[in-house]
Chains A and B, each alone.
Chain A
Amino acid sequence: MAFEKKVANSKIKVLLTGGGTAGHVIPCIAVYNILKKHFKVEESLYLGLKGKAEEVIVPKHGIKLEFIKSSPFADKSGFEKLKAIFSLSLGVLQSMGKIIKFKPDLIIGAGGYVSAPVIVAGFLLKPFLKHKIVLDEQNLVPGLLNKVASLFADTVFVNFKESSYFIWSNKCVYTGYPVRSQYLEGYKKEDFKEKLGIPSDRKVVLITGGSLGARTINRLVAQSVNELAGFKNTLFIHSIGLNTSESYNAFEDTLNLLKKSGFKIEEKGEEIRLYKNGQLFYTGKRFIDKIFDYQKAADVIVSRAGAGAISEILALGKPAILIPKRGLPGDHQELNAIGIAEKGGCEVLFEKRKNGNDYIEGQEFISLLKSLLNNSERMNEISKNAKSLFYEKGEEVIVETIYRLLTGKEDEINFITGVFEPQFVKFQRYFDNLVRYLYAIPKEEREANLYSRFYRIKIDEYLQSQNFMVVNKAIKLIGALKVEEKYPFLWDNFSNFKGYLKRNTLIAFKNAEKFFPQFETVIEKGIEDSYFEVRREAISLFIRFFRELSTNEKIKEKILKNLEKKFESFEVICESIKASSLILDEDNFVKMNKKFLTHKNVRIREALLDAVRIAIDSSSLSDIEKLQVFLKKMLITTSEFKPVYSVREKYFKTLKILEGKND
């Protein structure tokens, strides 16, 4: 015990790193503040990149800042990659020098590409300097460099349990996001409304796009301000953001848009106020200093879906509408939001893209906000779910883990075991998994399903791609989600498509809910295509919509011709046989398909049986006796079988029974 006390009381030196965006710097400093509270931190040093967020934030907290070189690695092509490797190794050497000079007891990296070289350098020097390395990963899906860096760290703090699935090291500790202490205290909404001078019966909606501001959110608010004015007894507080870059000046842009609305505007330096019938209903501020007061006072929060913003909302247990930023590496904001929304902790609106601009549909936003504000039951439910999703013991776990690390009791650390494969991973790993899942969504749920909503928006992005395999993905999605407004695109471009795209177009049409007259021309084109899978699917589509197409003699003739062809792909012949049972009467069916009864290829004989089944189901052939006689002559010797592994079968049955008993 004496020894432990000694370590806890002895002074430690901490080397911090991580950066690029504020999203990596703030949690790093949060961890640092936790350490300062519980340990005696003698000296600290921050290694960051020049010209990035850390240059602004770090000095404010009184931490010494030094710069190293680094470069992002993923998404780079051949030569660029070599350059990145060079710059990374330079970073490793630089940080080795700094570590040797500083001699830290603890290295904390918070992700971002700057932390990787520091952690590698720390790992290389570990045998000589005896420090410990901690990596803090905030996002659900870490970047490539963080995955690599995790192998060199003693412990990895994760914000989501699922992250342990992606991180290569198996030394993950679940800490949640290290939020500022203000968020952890209990509070009363009304007190904060009072503090801000808002009548306690007024509803408050806080809209924020982070410290820099989010163009999409700002424009959404400014453009739908007329509708917002229609909300009864509601005050909108809008944090517009500090962005003053050339391409977008948040405050000016928003102000200009608001001026067009025709409401009475009061502009006071950094603040815009809008009045309707003399009553204030909107306050836009360039920057809100004590944002947590406003967050606590709010009834609903509209926000980006960065890990930090989400954690703050969850910690406060606020109902929120999350608007994840589109097109970030690995779609991580979208995935963060889906992760929360799946457990009922928030509402999500996905950004759409038109002409290179991201936007949110105002109507969608207004109706969602309205339904949320008017339904206090739903708000309470979300609130409860959100609160339960926040991991409160984060600080405790961080302190305990670091304490154990420093005292050499690493075997006592509670590492995450067991692997959680998040559903979206399965989808990303293999696109057809996703397509299968989307196909299986019942019609009624398709509007509400998160994945269906998310990927519906993706379709537009995919369709604009130059790479035909990406367009192929879009076509699969159109088919799975049955997006009828995109069908014209498919049949208009059908002739220009490559093989896979034609095939998947036909499959998409096959799964359509109703018949469109254009299908007919598509089938006519497809049935003469040079690619066998297209011919196959064209016939298959014909079978699906036989009732509507039964008058088209041209298609029928072509299908029947396939039965005579000698060098046709067996897949096409199989489909033709099935189609023939619908086209022909008993006598002709038996006559034309007689030769297939003893065909060498099992699949063709199998198709013959399917054909009879289809015919009976659709009652196009009714002379059962004739069919019986016909099928009696069939060769049923086969070169194919499906195995049944009896142990496996019993194993899964037993497991199911056991599960049933547990319930």
Chain B
Amino acid sequence: MIKLIIELCQANGIDFGFFRLANYITFRALMGMVFSLMFCLIYGSDFIVFLYKKGMKDTSGEASVSSYSKKGTPTAGGLLIIISTVVSLFFWGDLRNTYVLVLLAGFLYTGFVGFIDDFLKVRFKSSLSGLSQMGKTLMLFAFIIPFAIFYLSSLNPMPEGLKTLIYLPFYKNPVMALPDMIFGIFIVFTMFSIINAVNIVDGMDGLLGGTSVLAIGVYTVFAYVIGNKILAQYLLFPYIPGTEEIVIFCSILIGGIVGFLWFNTYPAEIFMGDTGSLAIGSVIGMVAFFLKQEFLFLIVGGLFVFEIFTSLLQEKIGSRLGRRMLYRAPYHHTLTHKGIAEPKAVVRLWLISVILALIGLLSLKIR
């Protein structure tokens, strides 16, 4: 919005001097981040009270309400992230950019799916009565499949030929090119896995908030490099015009998540719910594809991958064998079971994410 106004003014010969800064990606990214962060900090407390009054109270866990349990904490706090991101994006983003529009659409839709799930859980007073596995999958596919079609169609501003190439981290040349059809299946599978992996990590106060900020942060840096012609050439990345706006979107989202984390860290005053986790997962997935860095997720999102691996191991193999494969699944529950308190486990997993993020950043230069 602000960019649009400045451009309009400049076209009409009005010069704002200082506000020319708005043409710079870094300026808008940082302003957007601060804006969404401040938005969360200012309206967060009221928002928590609002959710509480609306009866969006978490019912997970079967223990009865006691002074030790967190039952009854407001949930669906992902709405706060979504609202702050959308408002900030309205001011600082450039909504003429195709990538931003698609990101926004996916972000809102998956957030909506998550909200339905949260709402059902709250309405029917049980963590088991949300959307069924099938229902959730179908609703996600209703977004993922159109996304894959968009990605492969001519609507995607990415240079032709680049779309279906496979790049690996730490290797500068594409390893292979896949046929459209197979790459489409690859998109569907990967997106679905990423969204679910991110969703599963959301099980402790502040865990997903911290780890996803780091993952998105790395992708933001990559987006800045890939969207900048000179830097991309210098670091031997394929230059993809338009991806610089992804920097804005991601940094605004980071601001929103950090602002949410303010209230969500242990002991949580509000839970993200599926509203937040699905929306964040879908953004990470889409950005990975827009930047052609799908396999980077295995590194920067290594924690997510590991968590869903443990969860699937238990669900698919363990339940068939009739035994626990780990002490508890997904893995973060194993930590508390072993006697590491929740806040400590969360910080440790954050630190692991930091290490993974640094390795991810290394792949910028080592190629």
B40-72 interface (Cβ within 8 A of A): 62, 65-68
Within 8 A of B (CB), among A636-663: 638-646, 648-649, 651-652
Considering the chains assembled together, what is the distance between the CA atoms of A645 and B125 in angstroms?
Answer: 23
For residue A566, CB closer than 8 A to chain B, the reply is no
B-chain residues with CB within 8 Å of residue A638 when the two chains form the complex: 339
B66 is contacted by which of A468, A532, A652 (Cβ under 8 Å)?
Answer: A652
* A603: contacting residue among B68, B126, B323, B339, CB under 8 A: B339
Bound together, the chains give a CA A472 to CA B323 distance in angstroms of: 12
> By the criterion CB–CB under 8 Å, are A421 and B125 in contact?
yes
Residues of chain A lying within 8 A (CB to CB) of residue B62: 430, 432-433
- Residue on A with the closest CB to B126? A429
CB within 8 A of A601: which of B128, B321, B338?
Answer: B338
Do the beta carbons of A571 and B323 come within 8 Å of each other? no
Residues of A within 8 A of B341 (CB): 639-641
Contact B322 A645 (CB under 8 A): no
Write out, one digit per residue, whether chain A residues 515-535 have a CB within 8 A of any chain B CB (1) or not (0).
Answer: 000000000000000011100
The total number of A-B Cβ pairs within 8 Å is: 65
- Given A499-B322, A499-B324, A531-B323, the answer on whether A649 and B67 have CB atoms closer than 8 Å is yes
Residues 100-137 of B, flagged 1 when their CB comes within 8 A of A and 0 if not, give 00000000000000000000000111101000000000
Interface string of A215-259 (1 = CB under 8 A from B): 000000000000000000000000000000000000000000000
Within 8 A of B (CB), among A467-521: 468-469, 472, 498-501
B344 touches A498 (CB 8 A): no
> Is the C-beta of A102 less than 8 angstroms from some C-beta in chain B?
no
Bound state CA distance, A646 and B67, in angstroms?
7
B67 touching A644 by the CB < 8 A rule?
yes
Size of the B side of the interface (Cβ < 8 Å), in residues, is 22
Q: Is A80 part of the contact surface with B, judged by Cβ < 8 Å?
A: no
> Does A419 contact B125, Cβ atoms closer than 8 Å?
yes
Choose among A469, A645, A651 the residue that contacts B68 (Cβ–Cβ < 8 A).
A645
B310-362 residues with Cβ-Cβ distance < 8 A to A are 319, 321-324, 327, 338-341, 344
Q: Is B159 in the interface zone, CB < 8 Å from A? A: no
Provide the bound-state CA to CA distance between A570 and B339, in Å. 11
- Are A498 and B67 neighbours in the complex by a CB distance under 8 Å? no
Known: A601-B339, A652-B66. A499 touches B323 (CB 8 A): yes
- Separation in Å of the B59 CB from the closest CB of chain A? 11
Q: How far is the CB of A499 from chain B (nearest CB, A)?
A: 3
- Contact between A643 and B340, CB atoms less than 8 A apart: no
Given contacts A429-B128, A645-B67, contact A570 B322 (CB under 8 A): no
B322 contacts A498, C-beta separation under 8 Å: yes
Q: Write out the residue numbers on chain A whose beta carbons fall within 8 Å of the beta carbon of B241.
A: none
Contacts of A531 in B (CB 8 A): 323-324
Question: How many residues of A are counted as interface, with CB atoms below 8 angstroms from the partner's CB atoms?
Answer: 37
Roughly how many angstroms separate A517 CA and B239 CA in the complex, as a whole number?
Answer: 77
CB of B267 within 8 A of chain A?
yes
Nearest B residue (CB) for A432: B62
Given contacts A570-B338, A640-B340, A652-B66, contact A645 B321 (CB under 8 A): no
B290 to chain A, nearest CB (A): 36
> Taking CB as reference atom, which chain B residue is nearest A651?
B67
Residues 447-474 of A at the B interface (beta carbon under 8 Å): 468-469, 472
Question: A499's closest neighbor in chain B, by CB?
Answer: B323
Q: Are B340 and A498 in contact (CB under 8 A)?
A: no
Q: How far is the CA of A602 from the CA of B125 in the complex (A)?
A: 35
Q: Mark A565-582, 1 if CB is under 8 A from B, else 0.
A: 000011100000000000
Within 8 A of B (CB), among A417-454: 419, 421, 429-430, 432-433
Q: Would you give the shortest CB distance from A308 to chain B, in whole angstroms?
A: 28
Q: Chain B contacts of A499 at CB under 8 A? A: 321-324
Kindly state the separation between the CA atoms of A161 and B319 in the bound complex, as whole angstroms: 38
Which of A421, A498, A606 interacts with B321 by CB under 8 Å?
A498
Chain B neighbourhood of A602, CB < 8 A: 338-340
The answer on a CB contact under 8 Å between A652 and B67 is yes
Measured CB to CB, the closest approach of chain A to B63, in angstroms, equals: 10
**Min distance, Cβ B335 to any Cβ of chain A, angstroms:** 9
Query: Which residue on B lies nearest to A468, using beta carbons?
Result: B322
**Cα separation A29 to B65 with both chains bound (whole Å):** 45
On chain A, the residues within 8 Å of B128 by CB distance are: 429-430
Instruction: Say yes or no: B339 contacts A639, CB within 8 Å.
Output: yes
**Residue in B closest to A646 when the chains form the complex, CB atoms:** B67
Cβ-defined contact, A639 with B66, below 8 A: no
Residues of B within 8 A of A644 (CB): 67-68
Which chain B residue shows the least CB distance to A471? B322
Contact of B66 with A603 in the complex, beta carbons under 8 Å: no
Docked complex Cα distance between A195 and B323 (Å): 67
If A642-B68, A645-B68, A652-B66 touch, whether A500 touches B339 (CB-CB below 8 Å) is no
How distant is the Cα of A646 from the Cα of B66 in the complex, in angstroms? 11
Q: How far is the CA of A645 from the CA of B62 in the complex (A)?
A: 18
B323 engages A639 (CB within 8 Å): no
Cα A648 to Cα B70 with chains together (Å): 9
Contacts of B339 in A (CB 8 A): 601-603, 606, 638-640
- Give min CB distance, A74 to chain B, whole Å: 13
The listed residue (B65, B68, B124, B322) touching A500 by CB distance below 8 A is B322
CB-based contact A648/B67 at 8 Å: yes
* Chain B residues closer than 8 Å to A571, beta-carbon distance: 327
Contacts of B125 in A (CB 8 A): 419, 421
Q: Give Cα A430 to B59, complex, Å.
A: 13
Distance A432 CA – B62 CA, assembled complex (angstroms): 9
A sample of 11 cross-chain residue pairs with beta-carbon separation below 8 angstroms, ordered by A number, consists of: A430-B62, A433-B62, A469-B322, A498-B322, A501-B322, A533-B323, A602-B339, A643-B267, A645-B67, A645-B68, A648-B67
Taking A421-B125, A570-B338, A645-B267 as known contacts, 18 extra A-B pairs with beta carbons closer than 8 A to each other, sorted by chain A number, are A419-B125, A432-B62, A468-B322, A469-B319, A469-B322, A472-B322, A498-B323, A571-B327, A602-B338, A602-B340, A603-B338, A639-B339, A640-B341, A644-B67, A644-B68, A646-B67, A648-B67, A651-B67
**9 tightest A-B contacts by CB?**
A499-B323, A498-B322, A602-B339, A649-B67, A648-B67, A603-B339, A640-B339, A640-B341, A499-B322
Which residues of A does B touch, CB under 8 Å?
A: 168, 419, 421, 429-430, 432-433, 468-469, 472, 498-501, 531-533, 569-571, 601-603, 606, 638-646, 648-649, 651-652
